[in-house]
Structure 1
């Protein structure tokens, strides 16, 4: 009490002399920081190999090296005569469990506003997993990058929030620079049990390419040693996928003209347009038909270091998958004015790396609908179908901040289904080529579904908890 009076008298004396009252001491507060996050949302168990150095340290190191161009690079070229002993598929096998049902805060980063699992976030995890698997096969001496995503197929949509098991292994490697990594996402089985086929949510395959870390040229990797009948089946499938990719490059519409059937289809579309605009023809464009150029959506995003890969100055491929998927989803939704359900990511390519600090431009376009507005001669389909498959193509290009240079970085092809009878119609030569390319991809997807089977159907998708 005496101390309180003394402090009061001291304040009065200070005021009488013209001094302001001294500030009262504020109570101290304890601050806590959240656990460090090395990435933009990829599951923590998948980030150990991806980002090992803080960005500021990697940047300072690069700036120091660039300051002295005459200094020798600390990296060593990969030896041309290094020993490449065959490896088993099991050597690269890796699996982990996403405890979504157990950890509500982890689930928080995997859900969208309507409580559905964000597939784009799972795609990031799958790309990170493919990198871990690839390095298990090649070792750390080479640089491994994602060359293409050969397919991501939704097998059995989720009907409940559950723990998910992500697993995969290298299933095709002939000894050249590329390898195929096959993965799946499934409901996590109980301890001691294996995954059931009906519990598989996603199956996918990525093609990875190994490069010399100094020259950036492709280098050979260990070939696979296959033993069991199942391994032989997986290897044969990878070999078949490799041949399909090579054949597709040779018959690409950039290199060759449309075949006779496709030329007839272009002519039929052109004739239909003339009918729509002919004042003496009663036929008019139906309300459920939209011209391709009206479906286009575009975005521009600066590439921040939080999205980098393990080599620090390029963007992580999984981030590109997430961005392109979410734009494609939005494009399909705007086109149909209905909620789309993901079916597959069809063969898609990563053409050039995306540097940290660059600006990424994405353009999404609805390029094909199935059933189509006009079928090829002899083609049969249900024009009154309740459901429509919508294929969205996302083209990406990158520029530096000064906008001095631009280059394409990849093309991504997503297929969705919507509960709507809706059609897309091309009307320029460029759009015809995009339409025909998408039509070819749709035929490949149909063949793949027939060959591998799928638990997906439009009715089951209505109850799905995936985006």
Structure 2
């Protein structure tokens, strides 16, 4: 593969030289001297991330980065023993507003820009908005940490629909660092809202999306965590946001400590697993009149998989790894497809629940994504005392996306993240696990749904009917 890449680079260089003629001491492209005129198409207005957010992402053309890497004859992701972060860094505490950044997407004013944000039914593609949000989180993070460190997305703690869109309008994306103790991680809170008129503030009813991302700062050479500037918290609103960051940090630790990889299911969960097993026996018992209802689907029948080669056009600012926002877009669109295939109805996005980026995805690798319907609410079997409307017209569907990456030669593979999406579908439908692995996925999803419900500020959210009328996917 290395030999092929070097040969390709030599050809690029040769073509660049051959297509030029000498004029004095300068080389001028031969096409510039031709008498025949050429007309090129207009440049793309966006590459999937809004143009005002791309400057922080990619700063060097791919061919130059590849040539430099080959000249240094080293693997792009190989850590160095020598730190690149200065020993004496300025870690003076900063205010939240020091990292504030906002961008306006002129969707109502620019029909060609809007063209890149719409799907086939005229709804705004949330996956593209997620790409913009991840790019914005990078801009905000570097305003707080400076350019001496490498800052990467560690997790997306929550993306929720606050007030659904009822019309196409200009959107304002804004955010700031709201939690940083001085260690390597920092939490960024962002929102997407209807762009206010000049001099006015955003109204709460105009907020479309609320979200929080957790970023981690690393030494660019050793890839080890490094400390960042802590926050100064002064106003009541800043104290409220900081307290939310503390709560989210505790929840992440609780999730790790109680993970099913470390502990067995609790008594209630074990009873649910046993009840599901008994239900399966009833469905297949010839002497039992109970049969599998038409609205019950086994979990293994809900799976969808994709495989995609990671191209350099979606790399991050560090050149050789894929931009996290691109992974959010890919996983969202697969989750949307899985929910639609499961329900045979159009799903409406509710939230991206706490999700993690485990390992980076190298440019040129193969990304495998697997979508599974892991939980439905109301559930098929309820726990004792659990209230649910079994005849509800709508069902909340949780989709789990597992991702792994392999090199092109398939010499190795590793997990790169788990993403958890929740949709509402206008149908009464239930998912049913039947293997031990599926039971664990079901229990994990059930825990996540309960945990998210506890962290909702108002405990209500958007009604399914209102969400269904939104102009977003």
TM-score (structure 1 length as normaliser): 0.91
Cα distance, 1:80 vs. partner? 4.0
Q: What does residue 395 of structure 1 align with?
A: 402
Q: Does 1:465 align with 2:471?
A: yes
Contact persistence 2:81–2:222 (CA under 8 A):
no
Q: Deviations over 1:68-111 (max 9, x none)?
A: 99xxx899521344231000000000001000000000000000
Q: What does residue 40 of structure 2 align with?
A: 32
5+ residue gaps, structure 2: 1-33
5+ residue gaps, structure 1: 1-25
Corresponding residue to 1:354 among 361, 370, 386: 361
Aligned-CA RMSD value = 1.9
Corresponding residue to 2:274 among 253, 267, 271: 267
Contact persistence 1:155–1:454 (CA under 8 A):
no
Contact persistence 2:403–2:416 (CA under 8 A):
yes
Cα distance, 1:263 vs. partner? 0.4
Corresponding residue to 1:237 among 223, 227, 244: 244
Q: Deviations over 1:321-377 (max 9, x none)?
A: 000000000000000000000000000000000000000000000000000000112
CA distance in 1, matches of 2:82, 2:313: 24
Count of aligned pairs: 438
Q: What does residue 423 of structure 1 align with?
A: 430
Q: What does residue 185 of structure 1 align with?
A: 192
CA distance in 2, matches of 1:394, 1:336: 17
After superposing the two structures, state which structure 1 stretch, 293-302 or 439-448, moved more. Answer: 439-448
Corresponding residue SS for 1:417: strand
CA distance in 2, matches of 1:293, 1:372: 17
TM-score (structure 2 length as normaliser): 0.90
Contact persistence 1:299–1:361 (CA under 8 A):
yes
Q: What does residue 5 of structure 1 align with?
A: none
Q: Does 1:91 align with 2:86?
A: no
Cα distance, 1:455 vs. partner? 5.2
The equivalences for 1:65-464 within 5 A come to: 65-66=72-73, 77-449=84-456, 451-452=457-458, 456-464=462-470
CA distance in 2, matches of 1:221, 1:33: 45
CA distance in 2, matches of 1:121, 1:75: 38
CA distance in 1, matches of 2:286, 2:96: 65
After superposing the two structures, state which structure 1 stretch, 357-366 or 376-385, moved more. Answer: 376-385
CA distance in 1, matches of 2:112, 2:75: 46
Contact persistence 1:75–1:213 (CA under 8 A):
no
Which protein has the larger Cα radius of gyration, Structure 1 or Structure 2? Answer: 1
Change (3 A) 1:27 1:311: closer
Contact persistence 2:104–2:170 (CA under 8 A):
yes
Cα distance, 1:32 vs. partner? 2.3
Contact persistence 1:276–1:283 (CA under 8 A):
yes
CA distance in 2, matches of 1:80, 1:155: 43
Cα distance, 1:177 vs. partner? 0.2
Q: Deviations over 1:24-47 (max 9, x none)?
A: xx994432253377x731000000
Corresponding residue SS for 1:290: strand
